[in-house]
Chains A and B, each alone.
Chain A
Amino acid sequence: MTSTTEAPKPAFRLSQLIYDSRYRSITIQVVAMILFFAGFAWLIENTVSNLRALGKDFDFGFLWNRSGYDINQHLIPYTNNSTHARAALVGILNTLLVSFIGCLTATVIGVLAGVLRLSKNWLVSRLMAVYVEGFRNVPLLLWIVLIFAIMTEATPQPRDFREGGSAAMLLWHSVAISNRGVFIPAPIWGAGSGILVGIFVLSLVAAWYYRRYARKLLFDTGRLLPMVWPAILIAIVPTVLFYFILGRPVTLDYPTLGGFNFKGGLQIRNSLIALWVALSVYTGAFIAEIVRSGILAVSKGQSEAAFALGLRPNRTMSLVILPQAMRVIIPPLISQFLNLTKNSSLAIAVGYMDVRATLGGITINQTGRELEGMLLLGLFYLVLSLLISGVMNIYNNRIKLKER
């Protein structure tokens, strides 16, 4: 009684795997999968057998051996008695440092240049166009090497700063620009400086709350409190006050000439400057284009409406255009940050000791652990990139259009 209405089930034939569109895609996927795994297995097998042929094993133990080499720029204590793992960490921090400050300055430069390129002022917009095209269309490596060459060839040697020498320090004898880098005063954190830092952080939080309050007031009641200067005052005044109340806990260590080089102060090496500046202006040019396209993507009606409501151009830009443009800007901006981070490995051209130079360079070379070192290096860049895009995606989700 039940089976009479059912159509007879056709027998499954093998040829259906190819000719029947219901099965074909599965067949293709299975075949592709098998090929992929076979290729992968071949790679592994090939690596293992070649390592065996060379008599090498696969072992990360070298990371805990003494490194034996020195690194000029280290943000954490490091000597040649430290381990290779620590040398790698020093390199990682150097990579993070240049990527972080690079992303910051690139964003500032990019936003300024992108907005200014849309300026009604012919000269300004042309200048920005020249900047964008000039930097976007010349390889990054050239900029790095060029800036480095200028910094080392066109600046005086430390000994030129001696009495009667041809060079002099700037800004009341506090800054020296030399072919060894730029020397600036370094802060000395005396007793009580911890409290000062704490106060500064609290003031920043307070300033942020003030802005939030002012904003809410504006949206709720339409009353406009001044936003910028009170926030700045809140952020700075308590710190300055307490600086004197606590008896000046933070003092400055000025660079002075001693022996071969400047002693004291903070040395910003030319390799860092060259890499930082080149990465910033190069990536900034791309960001400028992203910002410009983001702004242009906001329909003209929006700014016309804002003007009709009597908003001044500045406010229109910051309250109406930019928040909407951000939705278009953020996703490509993420990839620019990722590019900058990975491009920082061009540090090799100027001897900046990033992770590629320590773990991926000297360590690999002194220990002969190319495979292990390169795998770790790849893993580091992978994790870093995923982290950056993860954080940026959270931000993107917060500002994106909430559809109700």
Chain B
Amino acid sequence: MKKSLFFGALTVATLIGAAAHASTLDDVKARGKLNCGVTTGLVGFAAPDANGVWQGFDVAVCRAVAAAIFGDPMAVNFVPTTGATRFTALASGEVDLLSRVTTWTFTRDTDLKFDFAAVAYYDGQGFMVPKSLGVTSAKDLDGATICIQTGTTTELNLADYFRANNMSYEPVPIETNAEGQQQFLAGACDVYTTDASGLAATRAAFEHPGDYIILPEIISKEPLGPVVRHGDNDWGDLVRWTFYALVAAEEYGITSANVDEMAAAPTQNPEINRILGTEGDLGAMIGLDKDWAVKAIKAGGNYGEIFEKNIGENTPVGLARGLNAQWKQGGLQYAMPFR
């Protein structure tokens, strides 16, 4: 009798505990900061600059979400995660949002109990080799020693690709990009493979980037995007629509420079008005202020601005928009209607 009472009390206590953690948004608001999981360092996507301030494409997504909630893009704790630790960090609640070049796959979405809010960057897996190796195609890589980051889609794709092409290889497992870079430069592996964007970003950090080439073959689809825990749909909605606000802003010509002006008074375009909160109150529907999107766009600019500033053609990473152009320019970036 006493025992069952005791366990009853325990269960109630745990249930209350669980209920208190039900809303990620409430947790974030109470904490005053967003915990955002990023890479351990990949120039252009997420890396601390000379002043120790995190910069990059993935970082900008975190900052936009923080700005939408708090109006302050700096209200973010960045948590560096490796390919192998990121999902535990997210599932355990150590981070509220994972913005770490993470590929949307079936098992991650379903079995691992995550939700992908959107696709921030459409990518595919490629190979990088030293020019001096004289290799021009991935089909020539039979017998090569290849550095791969463990816990990624990369290692699975690689196994599939070599099996399908009847080739063999020697995998060298590594934990972080920095480790892979060091081993690759030391020649401990012939080839470095990961998402093509990651290859470009890694190569940009080399002393002699010109000595290395990225092979033409792209062996997989790697849609990279921000990830949240499955179950808190409100939080997933908030992240998704904050990202779409950035994409829509580019489509409608809203930039970090003109957003204040456009939000000052309703414009001729009702869609712009709804995004910027000068008409209706979409913000309230996701638990935020009327001007949430204005704050998000002001944080780092619209999608195009974020792209150009961090990984675009005029940066050392030098990626073309390609698949990531707006749908009207023949790309795949397509914001759902704000209405």
* CB-CB contacts below 8 Å: A169-226 with B: 179-180
Please report the C-alpha to C-alpha distance between residue A357 and residue B151 in the assembled complex, in whole angstroms.
Answer: 10
**Size of chain B's interface in residues, with CB distance under 8 A?**
46
Cβ contacts under 8 Å, A302 to chain B: none
- Interface-side segment among B51-59, B62-70, B139-147, B274-282: B139-147
The stretch that binds B, out of A37-45, A243-251, A338-346, A387-395, is A37-45
Of the listed stretches B3-11, B31-39, B120-128, chain A binds B3-11
**CB of A301 within 8 Å of the partner chain:** no
Give the distance to chain B from A90, nearest Cβ to Cβ, in Å.
13
Given contacts A81-B163, A180-B170, A368-B111, 19 further A-B contacts (CB under 8 A): A45-B11, A53-B18, A54-B229, A70-B155, A70-B158, A71-B171, A72-B170, A72-B173, A80-B156, A152-B186, A260-B141, A261-B143, A261-B170, A348-B175, A351-B150, A353-B173, A361-B84, A362-B155, A366-B107
| Cα separation A53 to B229 with both chains bound (whole Å) | 11
Interface SS, B side? mixed
0/1 string, A352-386, CB within 8 A of B gives 1: 01000100011001111010000000000000000
Q: Contact between B87 and A365 (Cβ–Cβ < 8 Å)?
A: yes
Let me know if A368 and B171 touch, CB within 8 A.
no
Complex: how many Å from CA A70 to CA B112? 21
Q: Is the CB of A54 within 8 A of B113?
A: yes
Chain A, Cβ-Cβ closest to B150: A362
Check B187 against A157 for contact (C-beta < 8 Å).
Answer: yes
User: Please, how many angstroms separate the alpha-carbon atoms of A366 and B142 in the complex?
Assistant: 26
The distance from the CB of A198 to the nearest CB of chain B, in whole angstroms, is 34
In the bound complex, CA of A259 to CA of B134 (Å): 12
Of B15, B108, B150, the contact of A357 (CB 8 Å cutoff): B150
Query: Which residues of A sit under 8 angstroms from B18, Cβ to Cβ?
Result: 49-50, 53
Q: How many A-B residue pairs have CB under 8 A?
A: 111
- Pair B183/A152 contact, Cβ less than 8 Å: yes
Q: Is the CB of A351 within 8 A of B170?
A: no
Residues of A near any B CB (own CB < 8 A): 38, 41-42, 45-46, 49-50, 53-56, 68-72, 79-81, 152-153, 157, 179-180, 258-261, 263, 270, 348, 351, 353, 357, 361-362, 365-368, 370
Chain B residues within an 8 Å CB radius of A41: 7, 10
| Interface assignment of B314: CB less than 8 Å from any CB of chain A | no
B91 at the interface (CB under 8 A from A): yes
How far in angstroms is the closest Cβ of chain A from B336? 26
Do A80 and B159 have beta carbons less than 8 Å apart? yes
Shortest A48–chain B CB gap in Å is: 9
Tell me, in angstroms, the Cα distance from A121 to B108 when the chains sit together: 64
B14 and A263 form a contact (CB under 8 A): no
The reply to whether B190 and A365 contact each other, CB–CB distance below 8 Å, is no
Q: Of A49, A68, A261, A357, which is within 8 A of B156 by CB?
A: A68
Docked complex Cα distance between A69 and B111 (Å): 18
Looking across the interface, which residue of chain A has its beta carbon closest to that of B19? Answer: A53
Q: Is B262 an interface residue (CB 8 A)?
A: no
CB contacts (< 8 Å) of A263 on chain B: these are 143
Q: Is A46 within 8 A of B14, CB to CB? A: yes
Q: Among A55, A68, A69, A180, point to the contact of B113 (Cβ < 8 A).
A: A55
A351 and B112 form a contact (CB under 8 A)? no
Could you say which residues of chain A place their CB within 8 Å of the CB of B113?
54-56, 368
When chains A and B are docked, how far (Å) is the Cα of A179 from the Cα of B163? Answer: 26
Residue of A nearest to B114 (CB): A368
Say yes or no: A54 contacts B143, CB within 8 Å. Answer: no
CA of A263 to CA of B84, assembled, Å: 32
Q: Are B172's CB and A72's CB within 8 A? A: yes
Q: Contact partner of A351 among B88, B158, B173, CB < 8 A?
A: B173
- Who on chain B is nearest to A351 by CB? B173
Task: Evaluate whether A366 and B171 lie within 8 angstroms (CB atoms) in the complex, with A54-B231, A260-B145 already known.
Answer: no
Closest A residue, CB atoms, query B230: A55
The interface residues of chain A lying within 8 Å CB-to-CB of B225 are none
Instruction: Show 26 residue pairs from A and B whose CB-CB distance is below 8 angstroms, ordered by the A residue.
Output: A45-B14, A49-B11, A50-B18, A53-B18, A53-B231, A68-B156, A68-B159, A72-B171, A72-B172, A80-B159, A152-B186, A152-B188, A157-B187, A261-B145, A348-B175, A357-B150, A362-B84, A362-B150, A362-B151, A365-B83, A365-B84, A366-B107, A366-B151, A368-B91, A368-B108, A368-B112
Whole-angstrom distance between the alpha carbons of A49 and B84 in the complex? 25
